[in-house]
Amino acid sequence: MTGPVAFLGTGLMGGPMCANLARSGVTVRAWNRSPQKVRALGGGIAAAASPAAAAAQARACIVMLSDGPACRKVLFDDGAAEALAPGALLIVMSSIGHGEALELAASAEALGLRWVDAPVSGGTAAAAAGTLSIMAGGREEDIAAAQPLLAPMGTTVHIGPAGTGALTKLINQITVASTIAAVSEALLLAEAGGAEPARVREALMGGFASSRILELHGKRMIDRHYVPGGPAKYQLKDTRAARAVAASLGLELPVLDLVDGLFDELVAHRGGDLDHAALMIELERRNGIAGRA
């Protein structure tokens, strides 16, 4: 693929993803609402003044923005999609709703663009290491064309047609959110009952309760380290989107409903910019427990 690749959104996740792409030898032209975040990446990445300037005649465009409305605004209201070269590959890696993915794919195809929804999982550490799990929806030939651009960022699994990548990310997110809630309750119960949470976590890591959430976010809860890798407000966005899909399919998912409510309360109590592991704070608040310093 010749010419620069446009990269829109260089925040917590997009920044290291964009840097890894550039390090692989791809010429990257990037845009971010805060231009200093692009400039800070270095590595020969060109900073564009607008989304349309980044996308101008590019043969491929990667999008890593906060949500579906942000993607639609930047791509279609601000002119980035229309600025791309005819037949360009549009790869949206943002976490967006299933319906949003289908609508954006239709809008892209109406402009003659090729579409891939390819959201990711693994957090900021995997983004930096280039080991993200990438869940891709789209035509087989378009996934194959996107693969050289996705490979520097992680491992891709082609799920199915357009929209199925976005759906899989929502499935990932309800699994993550529900497990965070379970680990939060477990460690809160341990401490209230007089067991040392760090030792409880160590013991659980050797058995069937072991998980990446217990390993990484359980330690965050114990250390009370809530600097965001994945902000709680974005976790809430995803649980809400998953509930909308479930409702459209006539499904009742009571655990998802409960966990969504917990994250809603955390965000309502000013925890939206904390890591989603900070759900522990909401459980402490509900139980009248003052958080440890």
Active-site residues: which are they? 169
Alpha-carbon torsion, ordered 122, 123, 124, 130, to 10 deg: 20
Show the tokens assigned to 192.
Answer: 């209230």
Report residue 89 as tokens: 């590959």
**Residue 133: strand pairing partners:** 121, 155
CA-CA distance, 80 to 67, in Å (whole number)?
16
How many whole angstroms separate alpha carbon 159 and alpha carbon 165?
6
- Which residue is associated with the tokens 């990711």? 120
Sole residue written with tokens 């949003």: 100
Burial status of residue 99 (CB atoms within 10 A of its CB: 0-12, 13-18, 19 or more): middle
- C-alpha triplet 155, 157, 162: angle, nearest 5°: 130
Q: Are 102 and 162 in contact (CB under 8 A)?
A: yes
Do 279 and 263 contact (CB within 8 A), yes or no?
A: yes
CA dist 93 and 180 (Å) reads: 23
